[in-house]
Amino acid sequence: MYLKEIKLRNFKNFIESDFEFSPKLNAFVGRNGVGKTNVLDSIHYLALTKSYLNYSDIQNINFDNDFFTLEGIFEKEKSEDVIFLSVQKEKGKQLKRNSKTFERMSDHIGLYPLVMISPYDLDLIKEGSEVRRKFIDNIISQSDKEYLSTLIRYNRVLLQRNTLLKYFFLNHTFDSNSLEIYDSELTPLGEFIYEKRKELIAQLIPVFKDYYKLISKGNESVDIVYNSSLDEKPFAELLKSGLDNDRMAQYTKLGIHKDDLEFKITGYPIKKFGSQGQQKSFLIALKLTQLELIKKNLKLTPILLLDDIFDKLDETRVEQLIKLVNEERFGQIFISDTHPERTGSILQKINAESRIFEL
């Protein structure tokens, strides 16, 4: 599966632009602010129905217009899919495949998988644990519908339990029976999510380490550690032993909603002790791992978007990376760079089938 062409109308700074792509490597080059990231984001939009950068659809409409449209052709083994997406100020979003409107946006997900690596990924290292849980949850949910529905139920029951704790506190009352109803509902859901996360992370670590080694040429050791309060004891016991604390805090302090991942380089937290280039390499390896797991689960090779990929990486790492993504196991790639000569010479060096677009 690859994107053969895309037509942008009133999408951010592109009033009317058409692109025809190589099935392998494509590069957008040009100065700051010409719209390299915007084109990459338009591809993200078409494949996953939303922007990687903006949560609001409206913000992607060109300042001087009141709608945008994106039309792309995805080439598959035996056929072509024409995907058409439009956002209008008053009417909202519409998505069509081969002229047929999708009932639900979610029916589209999984058909054209895509992974984007961008400077914003730094949030995964810098921000709080929620971002990292989301990262893991997204990977598992892509291929496991039961996981997603369990997670939604867990969060709903958790909210009810917290509301009850708050009620007890404010009214100076307590009733263990009504709390136990929630606990017995919450326990199997939490255990299920814990096991699935553990499984995924065990699967992820060796692949991740291999990628990191390839990019860094084996220069540093990295590790990921999954931390959950459920490591300590079964969830039911955890809820019981934590009850006094929960009543005081008026919310549930332990459970899979507090899980986190520790990212380490040579044994130390990468957030504090990793250089910018090391952090970037770490994130790239992590995202390539995500791509590989999605590929395995969906049996489709995701499109890979690499935004500002050369920034902060030394020459060796850049070359390693481009060599790597040019391999058979990767599909179609889009990169952006501010230096046309750099991109040109790298692509020439590895003799890749490629197209360069100067914006």
Ligand X SMILES: Nc1ncnc2c1ncn2[C@@H]1O[C@H](COP(=O)(O)OP(=O)(O)OP(=O)(O)O)[C@@H](O)[C@H]1O
Residues of this chain that interact with Mg ion (CB under 5 A) are 36-37
**Closest approach of Cβ 33 to ligand X, in Å?**
4
The entry of Mg ion, ligand X, none that residue 33 binds, CB within 5 to 8 Å by partner kind: ligand X
Per-residue b/e over 133-165, b at no fewer than 16 CB within 10 Å?
A: bebbbebbbbeeeebeebbeebeebbeebbebb
Residue 14 Cα distances to 20, 204, 284, 338, angstroms = 15, 38, 28, 18
Residue 256's region, left for phi above 0, alpha for psi from -120 to 50, else beta, is alpha
- Residues 300-339 touching ligand X, rule: CB under 6 A, are 308, 338
Which tokens belong to 137?
């949850």
Please choose, out of 19-27, 28-36, 138-146, 316-324, the segment that lies near ligand X by the rule CB under 6 A: 28-36
One-letter amino acid identity for 126? K
The listed partner (Mg ion, ligand X, none) that binds 250, CB under 5 to 8 Å by sort, is none
Which residues have C-beta within 8 Å of that of residue 144, sequence separation ≥ 6? 196
From the list Mg ion, ligand X, none, partner contacted by residue 62 (C-beta under 5 to 8 A by kind): ligand X
Alpha helices in 250-314 (DSSP H): 270-273, 276-298
Give the span between the Cα atoms of 285 and 277, in whole angstroms: 12
Report in angstroms how near the CB of residue 307 gets to ligand X at its nearest: 7
In the complex with Mg ion, which residue's Cβ is closer, 52 or 282? 52
Q: Which does 44 bind (CB under 5 to 8 A by kind): ligand X, Mg ion, none?
A: none
Between 35 and 190, name the residue whose CB sits nearer to Mg ion: 35
Assess contact for 68 and 11: CB atoms under 8 A: yes
Residue 60 or 229: the one with the smaller Cβ distance to ligand X is: 60
Looking at the Cβ atoms of 186 and 306, the one nearer to ligand X is 306
Q: Are 250 and 166 in contact (CB under 8 A)?
A: yes
Contact pattern from residue 218 through residue 257 relative to ligand X, giving x for each residue in contact according to CB under 6 A and a dash for the rest: ----------------------------------------
Measuring CA to CA, how many Å separate 232 from each of 40, 44, 145, 229, 262?
Answer: 43, 40, 28, 6, 17
Is the CB of 36 or the CB of 257 nearer to Mg ion?
36
Return the number of the residue (53 or 179) whose C-beta is nearest Mg ion.
Answer: 53
Give me the least distance between CB of 338 and ligand X, in Å please.
5
Among 19, 36, 183, 194, binds ligand X (CB under 6 A): 36
Q: Tokens 């005081």 identify what position?
A: 248
Name which of 54 and 241 has its Cβ closer to ligand X: 54
Q: Could you say which of Mg ion, ligand X, none residue 133 binds, taking C-beta under 5 to 8 angstroms by partner kind?
A: none
| Residues in contact with 330: Cβ distance below 8 Å, sequence separation at least 6, in sequence order | 291, 301, 304, 324
Structure tokens at 234: 């079964």
Q: Which residue of this chain has its Cβ atom nearest to Mg ion in the complex?
A: 37
Residue 89 or 296: the one with the smaller Cβ distance to ligand X is 89
Amino acid occupying residue 255: G
How far is Cα 11 from Cα 333, in angstroms, rounded to an integer?
Answer: 21
Which residue lies nearer to ligand X by CB, 183 or 308? 308
Cα-to-chain-centroid distance, residue 9: 26
Residue 211 CB contacts under 8 Å (≥ 6 apart), including other chains: 284, 285, 288, 289, 324
Binding of ligand X by 188 (CB under 6 A): no
Tracing tokens 């999605």 back to the chain, one arrives at 294
Interface residues for ligand X in 57-76 (CB under 6 A)? Answer: 61-63
Query: Could you tell me the smallest distance in angstroms from the CB atom of residue 332 to ligand X?
Result: 19
Shortest separation between residue 37's beta carbon and Mg ion, angstroms: 3
Can residue 358 be called a binding residue for ligand X (CB under 6 A)?
A: no
Q: Closest approach of Cβ 339 to ligand X, in Å?
A: 10
Q: Which two tokens stand for residue 109?
A: 């997900």
Contact positions toward ligand X, by CB under 6 A? 12-13, 30, 32-38, 61-63, 308, 338
